[in-house]
Amino acid sequence: MMKYRLILFTLILLILTGCSNPASAKKGGAEDVIVSETREARESLRQTMEEAKSVLPEEAVARIEESEKKDDPSEEYFDEDITESEESFSETYESPDVEINTSKEDLQQMLKDNEDLTFYSTVPNDVTEQMRMGVYYSGSSPENIAYDYYRAFFENDSELHALINLENKTSACLTVSGDKIDVMIYEYVDNEETDAELMFSGMVYGEYQIDKNTGEIEQIM
């Protein structure tokens, strides 16, 4: 029994002397040497403990293993802790889809920057006083920017807007009926932006309907 106690005392002494914290060592080259020696001491200690366990009584081995768990938690412990933290984070920060509202001013600026679009609140010779106009220069087809245009410039659904593309030479008539934005696309007629009576007098190219709540585009013709 005295032999086992001596082995156990030796193991404890090695723990106290071989596993010191290298952070307190002198900085520089000496620190690297101490870190290296500490690692070697720990490895030697691990091997010694494994050999000791093979000759010590089960009760002594159990006490040593219990001490190791307190001083150095196992990977299983950390894995469980991390998993619980990740689940907690997911429950805390997971949220349903939230629609990000963009202001009219932001949309107007975006269309100006991306499409070189200029908005006019009146149209020459408009007797209805309900006509508005956006003139732009880009390769975008009117049905592809009509949803953003509607949210940016329509004040009410009784208005009629002309969306004129001077690069692609098209003139689109935008009107609203219920939940749909109707986009009728015509061939551009020279100078039609200067006279309401000339607008939408060119050949019809096609028609689209856009859901004003979702922006989904449906081709009609």
Query: Highest mean pLDDT range out of 1-10, 39-48, 73-82, 115-124?
Result: 115-124
Amino acid at position 197, single letter: E
CB 159 within 8 A of CB 132: yes
Outline where the chain has alpha helix (H). 2-18, 29-53, 58-71, 75-93, 104-115, 142-153
pLDDT tens readout for residues 151-201: 999 999 999 999 999 999 999 999 999 999 999 999 999 999 999 999 999
Average pLDDT of the residues in 100-124 = 93
pTM comes to 0.56
- Domain residue spans of the chain: 2-93, 104-219
Q: What is the DSSP string of 94-115?
A: ----------HHHHHHHHHHHH
* Buried residues in 38-70 as b, exposed as e (16+ CB within 10 A): beebeeebeeebeebbeebeeebbeebeeeeee
Tokens representing 49 are: 């403990």
Amino acid at position 24, single letter: S
Burial class (CB in 10 A: 0-12, 13-18, 19+), 165: buried
Look at strands 160-165 and 131-136 and give their pairing.
parallel
Confidence of residue 10 (pLDDT cuts 50, 70, 90): low
pLDDT tens readout for residues 21-78: 444 444 455 556 666 766 776 777 677 767 666 666 677 667 767 765 655 544 444 4
CA–CA distance, 209 with 173 (Å, rounded to integer)? 12
CA–CA distance, 88 with 133 (Å, rounded to integer)? 53
